Chain A
Amino acid sequence: MFKHLLLAIDGSDHSKRAAQKAIDLATLEGNGTIEILYVVAGNKSKSDVLQYGDSDSASRKRKLMLTPFEEMIAQAGIKYETTVLHGSNSAAESIIDHANKNDFDALVIGSRGLGTVQTMVLGSVSHKVMKHVKMPVLMVK
């Protein structure tokens, strides 16, 4: 049922909780696999390059950010792979696109838990994803 999972993360605490739930889900039947997806969206490239100097350093920082997630999943004895998507217009669109183009049994995603005003300005990634992804979605609060 839930063998091949897509776990979309942004490095926040919400994603940590989402990762835990993804592990729970993947171990239900055993033999599950998880693909971790991180999207470098919008102006993230610009602010990362400014903050870390160049693209290589920015990539290294992202790898460091992803490591705890990979370790979490590896420790649970689950096979995983990591995908980082670059240059996208919006994180939501990239997640939707990647999810629908590949064969996943479910998508697990954390909710940022923004307020009304923040959601209005930033837009809710998880809400958009829920609406357009053609598979079961587990939104972790």
Chain B
Amino acid sequence: MNYVEKLKKEWLGNVRGDVLAGIVVALALIPEAIAFSIIAGVDPMVGLYAAFCIAVVIAFIGGRPGMISGATGAMALLMITLVADHGLEYLLAATILTGIIQLLFGIFKLSSFMKFVPRSVMIGFVNALAILIFTSQLQHFVGETWIMYSLVALTLAIIYILPRFTKAVPSTLVAIIVVTAIAITMNFGVRTVGDMGALTQALPVFALPNIPLNFETLMIILPYSVALAIVGLLETLLTASIVDDMTDTDSNKNKESRGQGIANMITGCFGGMAGCAMIGQSVINVKSGGNGRLSSLVAGIFLMFLIIVLGGLVVQIPMAALAGVMIMVSIGTFDWSSLRNIHRIPRTDAIVMVVTVGTVVYTHDLSIGVLTGVVLSAIFFAWKVSKVRVEKYLNDKGDVRTYEIHGQLFFASVTDFLDQVNYDESVHKVVLDISDAHLWDDSAIGAIDKIEHKFDQRNVKVELKGMNKESTDLMDRIGGLSKASGH
């Protein structure tokens, strides 16, 4: 398939399905974009502009057709302190910087680095995200009346029960319309979206963030941007894999990383907050029949159209309805099968998953959770492979001792290994058989050196046997040096 044919297929291969799914997604995106803005502590418009800009830009330059990107909970949760301490302009600057980092990530084809994030950490990531989205809604319940509680309950009831009867209309949309209508006609006076911030019925305009361009600013936004870039790409690449699986097609992960970067740079210039791919929305899109680039474009444009036309109504949506939708989103985000499987996976993987979740819930920072999970997995891995087995035997005459070493010799395993060597035996030769071992680093070479040195002092000859090529090369490079320096 040549380039033009491919492009045509990605755009026009599924026009009807893409347009319909795009409309469904736009309707589902609005409450989420508003709710995520409120989580981040900015006006609803910031999230809506982000959803619009990112969805439209990604439609053209993303690497995974059919995937929906926009303002997300994972990203919003990272912005809270930046917005609270420094304000919106710094968030927009951080968004642009996030885009630059992601663009570089894509250009240097670093998406393969994602393999260093173990699956248990990814599961911890989505579960922690679900928990945080849920807990972020609890503030809306504080000091509320039973009217608000029952509106939330009604929202959830409609969302979950309506699909039993009809799937023609998205149940979330029906829930929001019904609950909003009830709140307006009954004049409950419950808090609405309008109380949380302004909603301007206008297209976003280009404006660079109004911040001092100096080193101090950079130092403020850089940590946030790095965290946003990592979390954004993590969720994006996970979502891309899910869409790959749902559509049974492949996607270009590096192109998607570049696309996310450019989308965030543009979003930041148009007053939107940083975003990434959305798992839930992408799943809705594919299930609704969308799988081409057109679906994302339609979703973005239709969302903006709805806001411009119906913005006056949108501000009247009660926070209760939004909280209900967010509770549904958090239930949908949580990977429930991980709870069912937790007793089946290796104990260490389960610990990594739980620690990742715990760290995120404690720090409210997904990037710290992921980092902790990755480091913990690495430690567990090192611990597991650091088990070195040593078999010892004497020859018939009893004057040659052989140590047969099985396993990986590196910084974490040499201490155990050295403990098993007996220097005070009265033999005249020691054989170190490492044909089933691998020397990985300086510590391993150092350990061999140390053994040779100690036996040397006791006038015992040491013979190395069965070293593989890589270990020999390493020995030549490092061992040679230490020998030359006067051992």
Chain B, interface size category, equals 20 to 34
List, in ascending order, chain A residues with CB within 8 A of B246's CB. Answer: 40, 45, 86-87
Candidates A42, A48, A88, A123; contact of B245 at CB < 8 Å: A48
CB of A47 within 8 A of CB of B335, answer yes
> Does A115 sit within 8 A of B, measured CB to CB?
no
A123 to chain B, nearest CB (A): 8
* Contacting residues of chain B (207-258) with chain A, CB-CB under 8 angstroms: 238, 241-242, 244-248, 250
How many angstroms between the C-alpha atoms of A83 and B47 in the bound complex? 41
Chain A 46-74 interface mask (CB, 8 Å, partner B; 1/0): 11111111110011000000000000000
- Count contacts between A and B, CB distance < 8 Å: 66
B121 to chain A, nearest CB (A): 11
CB of A55 within 8 A of CB of B241, answer yes
CB of B287 within 8 A of CB of A55, answer no
List, in ascending order, chain B residues with CB within 8 A of A86's CB. Answer: 245-248
CB of B247 within 8 A of CB of A49, answer no
> Does B123 sit within 8 A of A, measured CB to CB?
yes
> Does B337 sit within 8 A of A, measured CB to CB?
yes
Chain B: CB-nearest residue to A85: B248
How many angstroms between the C-alpha atoms of A123 and B160 in the bound complex? 12
CB of A51 within 8 A of CB of B119, answer yes
How many angstroms between the C-alpha atoms of A48 and B244 in the bound complex? 12
Candidates B167, B288, B335; contact of A50 at CB < 8 Å: B335
CB of B283 within 8 A of CB of A43, answer yes
How many angstroms between the C-alpha atoms of A45 and B80 in the bound complex? 31
How many angstroms between the C-alpha atoms of A52 and B241 in the bound complex? 11
Which of B167, B242, B288, B335 gathers the greatest number of chain A CB atoms within 10 Å? B242
List, in ascending order, chain B residues with CB within 8 A of A54's CB. Answer: 241, 244-245
A109 to chain B, nearest CB (A): 21
How many angstroms between the C-alpha atoms of A46 and B241 in the bound complex? 9
> Does A100 sit within 8 A of B, measured CB to CB?
no
Which of B167, B245, B247, B332 gathers the greatest number of chain A CB atoms within 10 Å? B245
List, in ascending order, chain B residues with CB within 8 A of A31's CB. Answer: none
B287 to chain A, nearest CB (A): 4
Chain B 124-145 interface mask (CB, 8 Å, partner A; 1/0): 0010000000000000000000
List, in ascending order, chain A residues with CB within 8 A of B123's CB. Answer: 50-51
List, in ascending order, chain B residues with CB within 8 A of A12's CB. Answer: none
How many angstroms between the C-alpha atoms of A55 and B242 in the bound complex? 7
A-B contact pairs, 11 of them (CB 8 A): A42-B287, A43-B283, A47-B335, A47-B337, A50-B122, A51-B123, A53-B241, A55-B250, A58-B245, A59-B248, A88-B287
* Residues of A near any B CB (own CB < 8 A): 40, 42-43, 45-55, 58-59, 84, 86-89, 123
* Residues of B near any A CB (own CB < 8 A): 119, 122-123, 126, 164, 167, 238, 241-242, 244-248, 250, 279, 283, 286-288, 291, 332, 335-338, 341
Given contact pairs A46-B283, A47-B336, a sample of 15 additional A-B residue pairs in the complex whose CB atoms are under 8 Å apart: A40-B245, A43-B332, A45-B283, A46-B242, A49-B245, A51-B119, A51-B123, A55-B244, A55-B245, A59-B248, A84-B248, A86-B245, A87-B246, A87-B291, A88-B287
